[in-house]
Amino acid sequence: MTHSTPSPDTVCPTQLAASPRDVGARGGNGRVVIVTGLSGAGKTSALKVFEDLGYEAVDNLPVGLLPSLVRPADGEAMARPLAVGIDIRTRDFGVEPIAKALDALADERGLDVRVLFLDCDDDVLCRRFTETRRRHPLAVDRPLADGIRHERALVSPLKRRADLVFDTTNLAPGQFKRVLAGHFGVGADQGLMVFVTSFAYRNGLPREADLVFDARFLANPHYVADLKPLTGRDDGVAAYVAADVAFPAFFQSMTDLLAPLLPRFSAEGKSYLTIAIGCTGGRHRSVFVSERLAAWLKQRGVRVELRHRELEAGGV
């Protein structure tokens, strides 16, 4: 069973559009990433990740200075790829001047300009500002929630223009870094990176998922006393789930679906694909299926990262 995920206007950190300059710019030096979004959604953390990836990172650059930063006066190309943080705290912030600057950069040959928009649920933003005792830039003379809503309205045109809309509501720092590295890593193009994650439906679908498969119809080890305390990584659980008469056809159908899709995703310029496998508790069936799927992908020469969301959350 499979579900499609939301459209790009709903948040999903793998909705990166292919750029016509992708082929020439993936090596690095012509790439410019504009990092914007809601205050508190992770812009500072994102810029630190970009620095770790080898980018020159500049925060709160006045929009009017962007062209001169990208194209120095001597006319030489940038020495390194560039990540620029721009948000409502930027001195001359405005959607229209930003749009004009982006249009001008997009017309320049040799540049791969992308916009990364960081989003987050309002209640999580409120908690972050409250816990850190930071003041929201638009909540100086109004309640915090009102400031967040006002900012969301102001920056919504940038979200619609973004190449990548990345929701940080439930993302751990390590996962945040992995996904950014998958999209924006500098160096030779190594092809599509596939991120496989298991999860529990009772805790909600992973927002970053591109494809979601439902394993809840398979025999459940939770109701077998000896298997209940184990996970899908254990041999006993693996053998139990694999013995379900429905499993071989399910797994074959899933891989038959993915086999032709993966090269098409890669050809369209997609650098990172997230596949989520869910079951009720996220410890047995989904973990086993995710392990099997990751092994199948590796056998095909695909770069794979594997994560078990509920096992990590439970400290297993």
Which positions make up the binding site for ATP? 37-44
Residues making up the annotated binding site for GTP are: 87-90
31-37 and 112-119: which strand pairing? parallel
Cα 189–55–138 angle (5° rounding)? 120
Three-state DSSP at 18 gives: coil
**Is residue 240 within 8 Å of residue 221, measured between CB atoms?**
yes
**Is residue 112 within 8 Å of residue 25, measured between CB atoms?**
yes
In DSSP terms, which residues pair with 37 in a beta bridge? 118
Cα 157–154–31 angle (5° rounding)? 50
82-85 and 31-37: which strand pairing? parallel
Residues making up the annotated binding site are: 37-44, 87-90
Rounded-to-integer distance, Cα 35 and Cα 57, Å: 10
